[in-house]
Amino acid sequence: MINIKSIWENHKPTGDIIIKTRIDEIPHLNCFAATNHITGQHLYIMAVANNVTIPELKNYRFKGVEIYTLQSETESKIELYIYLLDNDLKDIFSLFIQNILEEIEKSVTESEAIKTTLNVVSKWKMLFDKINFNGLSLEQQKGLIGELLFLNTLLDDEKTIANALNSWTGAEQDFQAKDFTLGSVGVEVKFTASKQPRIKVSNERQLDAENLSELFLILYSTEAVKDNGISLNSIVEQTRQKISTEEERGIFNAKLQLNGYFDEDKEHYGRMYSLKRTFVFNVSSDFPKITKGQLPLGIYDTSYSIEISAVENFIVEPETIFEKI
């Protein structure tokens, strides 16, 4: 696996403004990890022949990232630049470029590589456009606390610790319906501070087990407290302490940012909760739910609530999830 982040971190001043390192792991393409020595900003560059068609890039630009082309000064080539403008987004940018490299490794021609690159850019543009750069709402904070509680459970178990971060897929476009994907097992996580706990489902995809062997639903039932509780900030720090390597910590920080959590907003995330009970449900075929196949044509993003009393027969022990992985 190409570690683009380590290449950037190992760049040393050369006297040039732009320091470039060719990515030798993809020998059939001219790809470079680069750093602006003056600003410290990271770049990714791909050089292709002049006859390779690159479409208009206006629609591929998004917050914190600039995408453009330049004519190479030394060769008859066009260079595609993907330039990080906001250094606060370094961790996300690393995942983004890593994804491009993984996909273009399979490309045979430069034209195919450009097309694949722009397809990945389009996917990540949708992810970036979903990020709330103005802070998380209270409901979004609760949802993220719930996901981090389960991530901590995975980090605490020998069976799942190695792949815990990769299994956290809720913010990724390819897995937008499930919070966690562990092989063919999906896990959807809910968090409530209501005195009458219920399951709030935001769309018809969340409890759809299509392409999964098993689907579980976890509901963390809590109450708001003034002291000695779990806050979004505390669960973030707790998780960081359990992650042993700098590389994995960078992936974790990037996924936090994809969920809209930025450290500069920490002062707004101190509300605390006390965990009362954890419910785990096996979302089998007869679990009461609304899925895409049940909806009339043209109806989508259907939200609804499920009473706990209606699904008590589907409650299983938390260990059941790990038995199925």
End of a domain among 130, 149, 179?
Answer: 130
Same domain, 185 and 283: yes
Residue 252 has pLDDT above 60, yes or no: yes
| Per-residue confidence (pLDDT) for residue 176, from 0 to 100 | 55
Range ranked top by mean pLDDT from 47-61, 85-99, 149-163? 149-163
The 272-282 sheet, strands edge to edge? 180-182, 185-192, 214-225, 272-282
State the distance between the two ends of the chain, measured CA to CA, in whole angstroms. 25
Same domain, 269 and 177: yes
| Per-residue confidence (pLDDT) for residue 14, from 0 to 100 | 79
Cβ contact 281:287 at 8 Å: yes
| Per-residue confidence (pLDDT) for residue 177, from 0 to 100 | 66
Domain of residue 123, residue span: 4-130
Same domain, 56 and 106: yes
Indicate the pLDDT class of residue 86, thresholds 50, 70 and 90.
Answer: confident
pLDDT tens readout for residues 151-171: 999 999 999 999 999 999 987
End of a domain among 130, 159, 192?
Answer: 130
pLDDT tens readout for residues 107-140: 999 999 999 999 999 888 888 887 877 889 999 9
Same domain, 170 and 114: no
pLDDT tens readout for residues 262-280: 999 999 999 999 999 999 9
